[in-house]
Amino acid sequence: MISAFALHPALILIAGAFLLPLLKGQMRNMAVLAIPATTLVSVFLLPDGKLWETSWLDYTLAPLAVDQLSRLFAGIFALMALAGGLFALHQQNRLEMPAAYLYAGSAIGVVLAGDLITVFVFWELMAIGSTLIIWSTGTPSAWAASRRYLTVHLAGGVILFAGITGHIIETGNVGFSAMQANSIANWLILIGFLINAGAPPFSAWLPDAYPEASWSGMVFLSAFTTKTAVYVLLRGFPGTEILIWIGIFMIFYGIVYALLENDMRRILAYSIVNQVGFMITGIGIGTEMALNGAAAHAVSHIIYKALLLMTAGAVLVATNRRKCSELGGLFHSMPLTTLCACIGALAISSFPLTSGFISKSMVSQAAIDGHMQTVWLFLTAASAGVFLHAGIKFPWFVFFQKDSGLRPAEPPLSMRFGMVLFAILCVAIGLWPDFLYAMLPYAVVYVPYTAAHVVTQLQLLLFSGLAFFVMLNYLKRTPTITLDADWLWRASGPAAGRTIASALQISLACMRKGFAAANVMLSAAINRQRLPDGFLLRSWPSANMSLWVMVMLLSYLALYYLE
């Protein structure tokens, strides 16, 4: 059953992905903007409820189910596709934009799915779309990264499929609703979700693959996979306590590696893991305040992280350089890009009057309300770490450190429009948070701008900034490589493959030698029987031959009567 006028927003973007390769010039540019804009409007025109339902193998599927939470995520995903399309308007690669819209449409399909089977179908389409974005870059490093990326996500898909199958067998229900991690099937579903969230021990797939995408491709990649995972965890596993500690691990893992990094886009990639950790911690706390905070922070993060990656992409286009040790002094010739980067850096650091301040603080408040003092201390310490690596390190080393002598011009107009749009949203949400709060899944009874909260946050940021400049000599980056957990499958994996291949070659060589020796021995044995004293030419007594003839005749007679 399909409700009247209930057009699935995901299908608009996916259909647009197949339309774009057929268009050129201004028609293509108009379609790049019109397709996600139409999707965005359609998301907010849909009424609540299960709008599409169909039967499959005696199960009722709901490919289009809308409520407050799904509308929030579908809306921000459509907005992200629109802003990303604007930023990448002059991307020359003919594959990237169709792949990005397939990716974004699949993410919207996941958040609007009312059953686990539809979730899985769109989940796998997301893996295909995101892999194509990395692949479209066309460099050897991007191709290698896309293979590793796809391997991890296909493995996660297999785990998720096994969990969903087991869950359906156990419960007889395909509906996607809150569940408990109390069975093997549900644990497999949880693990499948966490792999896409960038949770340990598979966090390294994200900084390994995302920075290999193009200057515009990473903007799209930053928004959908991890935030779709946040959505399904919000929907499927709210209040699962282990998520608190997984989230805290992700927070500090991202901070440590981002501080060690020299590549500006890998800094921001590790920062994605760090920020998703805040959301997963909120989901683990599980109260209405915490779940609202996780959802609000996902929205804020999509905007300010895309803004930061847009500025990094602008620098990459202008200079063709990614290493912090090769950049600096760009504020002289790229003032608008510098301003947008600073706004994004303040937002990710939860600076008052920015979007990060009004969302991240809800998770901390939930920890206080739940009397989780240890969790609150970890979150507070982590906020200082975020300011160190993303709030100061990224803009300082890219735009303000010792002058590199580079004087690139500002990026093209469409890229500047994309950056300015999201910079305005970072400030607007921070100034008027009630607009975002009204779209959250639960009623919000929270005032972010209290004197105590503002002063505490400013003190925290002030001392973090002081620590950064005091330790500046230790934080200066050099052209080094940071080893992560992906070393296990990037180094030991091929080494194990080579060892197995060598062992197989040795085994095959031994088998060939053995067969050859056995063949020689068998031939010699047969040839010996052909000699005068051999078995075939040897003289036999007549009595023996008569005995054997009698045995054969009796056997034949017995078989004749048995038939």
Question: Is residue 207 in a domain?
Answer: no
Question: Is residue 174 in a domain?
Answer: no
Task: Check residue 483 and give its pLDDT.
Answer: 72
Task: Check residue 4 and give its pLDDT.
Answer: 46
Residue with tokens 């409520």: 67
The pLDDT mean for the chain works out to 89
Give the span between the Cα atoms of 374 and 522, in whole angstroms. Answer: 77
Would the pLDDT of 1 be above 60?
no
Whether 318 and 465 share a structural domain: yes
pLDDT tens column, 319-372: 998 888 888 889 889 999 999 999 999 999 989 999 999 998 899 999 999 889
pLDDT tens column, 387-415: 877 778 888 888 988 787 888 889 999 99
What are the beta bridge partners of residue 64?
Answer: 52
Whether 495 and 510 share a structural domain: no
- The continuous run of DSSP H or E covering 54 comes out as strand 49-56
Structure tokens at 313: 């992409």
Structure tokens at 560: 């004749």
Task: Check residue 536 and give its pLDDT.
Answer: 59
pLDDT tens column, 28-62: 999 999 999 999 999 999 998 888 888 888 888 99
**Residue 253, SS3?**
helix
Is the Cα torsion angle 248, 250, 255, 259 positive or negative in sign? positive
Would the pLDDT of 213 be above 80?
yes
Alpha-carbon torsion, ordered 161, 98, 220, 313, to 10 deg: 150
Question: Is residue 405 in a domain?
Answer: yes
Alpha-carbon torsion, ordered 140, 141, 146, 149, to 10 deg: 150
Is the separation of the CB atoms in 378 and 280 below 8 Å? no
Residue with tokens 């979700």: 193
Task: Check residue 540 and give its pLDDT.
Answer: 65
pLDDT tens column, 173-198: 899 988 998 899 999 999 999 999 99
How far apart are the two ends of the chain, measured CA to CA in Å? Answer: 66
Task: Check residue 118 and give its pLDDT.
Answer: 94
| HSE-up of residue 211 (Cα within 13 Å, Cβ side) | 21
Whether 422 and 483 share a structural domain: yes
C-alpha to C-alpha distances, 160 to 202, 228, 242, 334, 455, nearest whole angstrom:
15, 14, 18, 45, 44
Residue type, 67: D
Question: Is residue 164 in a domain?
Answer: no
Q: What is the pTM of this model?
A: 0.86
Tell which of 462, 483, 503 closes a domain.
503
Percent of the chain's residues with pLDDT above 90 = 59
Name the residue among 83, 76, 80 with its Cα closest to residue 295: 76
Tally Cβ neighbours within 10 Å of residue 142. 21
What are the beta bridge partners of residue 323?
Answer: 263
Task: Check residue 550 and give its pLDDT.
Answer: 83
Whether 529 and 423 share a structural domain: no
Is the Cα torsion angle 23, 26, 29, 33 positive or negative in sign? negative
Tell which of 486, 503, 520 closes a domain.
503
Taking residues 424-443, what's their average pLDDT? 93
Is the separation of the CB atoms in 306 and 273 below 8 Å? no
Tell which of 503, 521, 554 closes a domain.
503
Whether 489 and 409 share a structural domain: yes
Residue with tokens 């896309």: 146
Whether 427 and 483 share a structural domain: yes
Would the pLDDT of 11 be above 50?
yes
Residue with tokens 């950790």: 277
Is the separation of the CB atoms in 216 and 97 below 8 Å? no
Question: Is residue 199 in a domain?
Answer: no
Question: Is residue 216 in a domain?
Answer: no
DSSP string, 539-559: ---HHHHHHHHHHHHHHHHHH
Q: Structural domain tally of the chain?
A: 2
Whether 465 and 521 share a structural domain: no
Whether 273 and 349 share a structural domain: yes
**For the stretch 395-421, what's the b/e string if a residue is b when 16 or more beta carbons lie within 10 angstroms of its beta carbon?**
bbbbbbbeeeebebebbeebbbebbbb
Lowest mean pLDDT among 149-163, 245-259, 539-553: 539-553
Report the helix count and the strand count for the chain, using DSSP H and E: 23, 2
Task: Check residue 5 and give its pLDDT.
Answer: 56
Whether 317 and 461 share a structural domain: yes
Whether 510 and 498 share a structural domain: no
pLDDT tens column, 470-519: 777 766 666 666 777 776 766 776 777 778 888 888 888 888 888 888 88
What are the beta bridge partners of residue 49?
Answer: 66
Question: Is residue 190 in a domain?
Answer: no
Helices (H), 112-241: 116-135, 140-171, 184-197, 205-209, 217-236
Is the separation of the CB atoms in 430 and 349 below 8 Å? no
Would the pLDDT of 534 be above 60?
yes
Query: 258: pLDDT confidence band, cut at 50, 70 and 90?
Result: confident
Whether 494 and 546 share a structural domain: no
Task: Check residue 480 and give its pLDDT.
Answer: 67
What are the beta bridge partners of residue 59?
Answer: 56
Question: Is residue 7 in a domain?
Answer: no
Structural domain harbouring 471: 238-323+333-503
Query: 529: pLDDT confidence band, cut at 50, 70 and 90?
Result: low
Whether 428 and 519 share a structural domain: no
Give the span between the Cα atoms of 355 and 430, in whole angstroms. Answer: 4
Structure tokens at 121: 């179908």
